[in-house]
Amino acid sequence: MIEIKGLHKSFGKLEVLKGIDLTIDRKGVFSILGPNGSGKTTLIKCILGMVLPNAGEIRIHGEPVRKHWKYREKIDYLPQIANFPGNLTVKELIRMIKDLRGQPGLDDSRLIDRLGLQPFLGKKLAHLSGGTRQKVNLCLTFMFESPYIILDEPTTGLDPTALIILNEMIEEERRKGKVIIMTSHIMSFVEEMSDEIIFLLEGNVYFRGTSESLKEQTKEPDFIHAIANLLTKQNV
């Protein structure tokens, strides 16, 4: 369970989160959406402890996360931009992450083969394409059996074949009973994978529900128009 109460965060005079209340108390895939600057990444980084809120509280499994760090062992995280040292090879990076996590992890050879990374194991990260680096990031994220997975724009740079593999991997983790939180600008991917949509607007939760309930509420025929409807209301 993730409980967020009265979460505020400002950067200088810019108030990004304005008292967010949010509870995720069941398993499934939860997509956090919203326009640029709505607070999506800030909210995720607050959950991860990478950004300290000005006020409010976050609890995971009933325990407050502030001034604690052990809870992070329960989270697998794929950042929107992963800045790993370019002079490391793929094989060296995988070994380093396993050593840092101090967990046995899954059979990484299975993930490597599934993502087609075998030919790149000896290549340095600086020499890889953006799509291949994203596959490496996915391998690192899905390599451990943590109850929570956070995916920030996981589809970036992926070709259609890799996108199908990503869908399958998320579905497998969902069936294991995990909580998966993600952001994405690909609305077809969001609609297909999400159990719930959490739409942020001006630093608050503006909508929460299924894609079907969103279409009913906005009276729009499809998901992308329903999301556009929420964005249009922002500018009214």
pLDDT tens digits for 45-96?
999 999 999 999 999 988 888 878 888 888 999 998 878 889 999 999 999 9
Are residues 106 and 115 in contact, defined by beta-carbon separation less than 8 angstroms? no
Distance CA 143, CA 105 (A): 6
Q: What pLDDT does 236 receive?
A: 42
How many domains is the chain built from?
1
CA–CA distance, 229 with 236 (Å, rounded to integer): 11
**Among residues 12, 15, 5, 101, which one has the least CA distance to residue 57?**
5
Check which CATH number belongs to the domain holding 53 and give it: 3.40.50.300
What share of the chain has pLDDT > 70, as a percent? Answer: 96
At 151 the pLDDT is 97
The model's pTM is: 0.92
C-alpha span between 148 and 207 (Å, rounded) = 22
Provide the domain limits for residue 171: 2-234
